[in-house]
Amino acid sequence: MFLEFLSYAFLRRALLSGLLISISAALVGSSLVLKRYAMIGDGLSHVGFAALAIAMIFSWSPLLVALPIVILAAFLLLRISENNPLRGDAAVAMISSAAMAISILLISVTKGMNTDVFSFMFGSILSLSDSDMILSVVLSVVVVLFYLISYNKIFAVTFDEVFAESSGISSNFWNSVLAVLAAVTIVLGMRMMGALLISSLIIFPPITAMRLFGSFKQVSIVSVLVSVATFLIGIFSSYALNLPTGPAIVIANILFFLFFSFLRQLRRRKKVTVGGQE
Amino acid sequence: MIEKTPDRILIELKDIAFAYDGRPVTPSMNFSIRKGEYVSILGENGSGKTTLLKGLLQMKEPYQGRIIFDAEMEKQNIGYLPQQSGLQKDFPASVTEIVSSGRLNRHKIFAFYSSEDRQAVQETLRRLDIEDLADRSFRNLSGGQQQRVLLARALLASDGVLLLDEPTAGLDPIASHDFYDLIRSLNREGETIIMVSHDIHCVMHDATHALHLGKDYYFYGPKEEYLDSVMAASFLHRAEDK
């Protein structure tokens, strides 16, 4: 069945770009979750949906329209959360619902709800075009490489912004870098997961990894593995059982999360303290 | 007491004052901190203690005046132990990962650790007697152990000056006591200590100098002089009442 799966060009495209997007989402997600920015990821996906709606109305390339808009929104949301720790999450929720309302309104007065709109909402990795695939592959490789090159600085800024700043690492600059990486990852991931489900790709794998692992490196590596595994399970089961891909990936993530939580409980009960991990 | 030649001045403050939104929050100050001193910073909440530390770290621009650093002192190589935000308490990071980040001030562009860095981390862990924690996860440590780890990170970043901002806040009395012992022994090994703390008695026991920040006045001088001053009398008295 696996060979049969690979014989379809559209499935090979989906597999390649999906794997790379999953890897970048897991890496960027670890930092976002630990910085308490998970909600920003969710807000960005709604802004992304609005951008896709605009692109659709004017028949522009969805990714090329969404990228700059979502990057701008990422800067904006980051500023709001930093300056307003108490009401930051409310502001993010306001921007998300505003973006959603505007996009639904625009769509219904122009083209009306159609299959394109549903694919933006719920994802359609199987309908990836060649140019979309190339863009996804190139951008996610850039995100992953950049993350790896700056890994130690990203760790420092994620763990303790104030100390990082005292070492001459500008938290403003690195938070902006993180915002751009998150924006790119979310825009790419929206093709696969849809606007409504993309934040699960960013949040679930790191949270799952944190259930069992206690170092940043382990959490990063394990969340990449979880992300890749849940993507593969999701896409194969969607092919074999004719399920929608995005929701299948989320369900796989939920199962992994429950399994890791169960193992954690077991370990607590046994009170095993393994040196390297806990 | 035996008089000795004064040590090198590391940090000199000239007419320095800090402000928020254009309004000064500290008095205008003039004093110098010399190598090997143990300066305890006291004052009411909101008297600008943390702001002063951030000013020394060049994280905050002064409202007026300037800070002159010793020529041999790299400004970014001041070890800083910030006030704990509570955000890190359950952070999944190993002790080695955290302490290593104290070396990042020595890496400008590409921040990859060399074997020299790893060796420096090992030595610092040994110096603070937390080698056995190296592979442990920060979130599973006690409050006292967590502070020791963050102190190790500061020590690794420093060329001999440590700035500590309420390092024992939230620690139980025994852990606080151990922590102060550790700071005292580091000071005796030659580290210059500048510490904000509410734990007046413990600090006054170890400190060599006191900096007391008030709204529009301040005191800076040797501990003995401070203890005889009117400011100390009222401050210590009120602290005792608490």
Contact A163 B82 (CB under 8 A): yes
Nearest-Cα distance to chain B for A216, in Å, is 5
Whether A219 and chain B come into contact, CB under 8 Å, resolves to: yes
According to the model, what pLDDT value does residue B240 have?
A: 61
The pLDDT > 70 percentage for chain A reads 96
Residues of B in contact with A166 (CB under 8 A): 57, 59, 76, 78, 80, 82, 157
Cα–Cα distance list, B67 to A120, A255, A271, B28, B105 (Å): 56, 57, 52, 12, 20
Contact B137 A215 (CB under 8 A): yes
Contact A164 B104 (CB under 8 A): yes
According to the model, what pLDDT value does residue A112 have?
A: 75
Residues 27-66 of B with CB under 8 A from A: 57, 59
Whether B105 and chain A come into contact, CB under 8 Å, resolves to: yes
According to the model, what pLDDT value does residue B148 have?
A: 95
pTM of the model as a whole: 0.89
Whether A268 and chain B come into contact, CB under 8 Å, resolves to: no
Q: Report the C-alpha gap between B179 and B167 in whole angstroms.
A: 8
Contact A36 B97 (CB under 8 A): no
Residues of A in contact with B80 (CB under 8 A): 162-163, 166
- As beta bridge partners, residue B233 has none
pLDDT band at A278; cut points 50, 70, 90? very low
Whether A153 and chain B come into contact, CB under 8 Å, resolves to: yes
Whether B157 and chain A come into contact, CB under 8 Å, resolves to: yes
- Over the stretch B107-128, which tens digit does the pLDDT of each residue have? 877 789 999 999 999 999 999 9
- Between CA A20 and CA A164, with CA A180 as vertex, the angle to 5 degrees is 110
**Mean pLDDT over residues B4-9, rounded?**
74
- Over the stretch A178-226, which tens digit does the pLDDT of each residue have? 999 999 999 999 888 888 899 999 999 999 999 999 999 999 999 999 9
Q: Which of B80, B104, B135 sits opposite A153 (nearest CB)?
A: B104
In this structure, CATH architecture of domain B1-78+160-242: 3-Layer(aba) Sandwich (3.40)
Average pLDDT score over chain B: 87
- Over the stretch B126-154, which tens digit does the pLDDT of each residue have? 999 999 999 999 999 999 999 999 999 99
Whether B76 and chain A come into contact, CB under 8 Å, resolves to: yes
Task: Report whether pLDDT(A263) > 50.
Answer: yes
Residues of A in contact with B91 (CB under 8 A): 34, 159
Task: Give the chain A residue nearest B158 (alpha carbons).
Answer: A167
Residues of A in contact with B136 (CB under 8 A): 214, 275, 278
Whether A152 and chain B come into contact, CB under 8 Å, resolves to: yes
Cβ atoms of A166 and B78 within 8 Å: the answer is: yes
Q: Report the C-alpha gap between A217 and A101 in whole angstroms.
A: 40
**Mean pLDDT over residues B28-50, rounded?**
89
Task: Give the chain B residue nearest A211 (alpha carbons).
Answer: B92
Q: Which domains does chain A have, with CATH numbers?
A: 11-197 (1.10.3470.10)
3-state secondary structure of A161: helix
Q: Which of A151, A169, A214 sits opposite B139 (nearest CB)?
A: A214
Look at residues B206, B201, B204, B199 and name the one whose alpha carbon lies nearest to residue B183: B206
Q: Which of B93, B104, B135 sits opposite A275 (nearest CB)?
A: B135
Residue B42, token pair as written in the block? 């006291």
Q: What does the domain layout of chain B look like in residue ranges?
A: 1-78+160-242, 80-157
Residue type, B12: E
According to the model, what pLDDT value does residue B106 have?
A: 87
**Mean pLDDT over residues B30-53, rounded?**
89
Whether B118 and chain A come into contact, CB under 8 Å, resolves to: no
Task: Report whether pLDDT(A114) > 80.
Answer: no
Whether A7 and chain B come into contact, CB under 8 Å, resolves to: no
Cα dihedral B133/B138/B139/B145 (nearest 10): 60
- Over the stretch A50-95, which tens digit does the pLDDT of each residue have? 998 888 888 888 888 999 999 999 998 888 877 776 677 788 888 8
Contact B78 A166 (CB under 8 A): yes
Q: Report the C-alpha gap between A125 and A236 in whole angstroms.
A: 13
Residues of B in contact with A156 (CB under 8 A): 101, 104
Q: Report the C-alpha gap between A128 and A191 in whole angstroms.
A: 8
Q: What is the ipTM of this complex?
A: 0.89
DSSP A111: T
Residues of B in contact with A169 (CB under 8 A): 104-105
Residue of B50, B91, B145 best to disrupt the A interface, most CBs of A under 10 A: B91
Q: Which of A216, A273, A278 sits opposite B93 (nearest CB)?
A: A216
Whether A150 and chain B come into contact, CB under 8 Å, resolves to: yes
- Over the stretch A140-183, which tens digit does the pLDDT of each residue have? 999 999 999 999 999 999 999 999 999 889 988 999 999 999 99
According to the model, what pLDDT value does residue A210 have?
A: 96
The pLDDT > 70 percentage for chain B reads 93
Question: Of the segments A104-113, A176-185, B202-211, which one has the largest average pLDDT value?
Answer: A176-185
Look at residues A39, A13, A52, A37 and name the one whose alpha carbon lies nearest to residue A177: A37
Residue A37, token pair as written in the block? 């920015």
Whether B140 and chain A come into contact, CB under 8 Å, resolves to: yes
Nearest-Cα distance to chain A for B89, in Å, is 10
Higher pLDDT, A132 or A145: A145
| Maximum distance among all Cα pairs of chain A, rounded to whole angstroms | 61
According to the model, what pLDDT value does residue B170 have?
A: 86
Site of tokens 């990071």: B93
Look at residues A31, A40, A35 and name the one whose alpha carbon lies nearest to residue A150: A31
**Mean pLDDT over residues B188-196, rounded?**
94
According to the model, what pLDDT value does residue B107 have?
A: 85
Whether A170 and chain B come into contact, CB under 8 Å, resolves to: no
According to the model, what pLDDT value does residue B1 have?
A: 47
Residue A43, token pair as written in the block? 């807000």
Q: Report the C-alpha gap between A48 and A99 in whole angstroms.
A: 8
Contact A278 B137 (CB under 8 A): yes
- Over the stretch B209-242, which tens digit does the pLDDT of each residue have? 999 888 778 889 888 888 888 777 777 776 665 5
pLDDT band at A272; cut points 50, 70, 90? low
Q: Report the C-alpha gap between B233 and B218 in whole angstroms.
A: 14
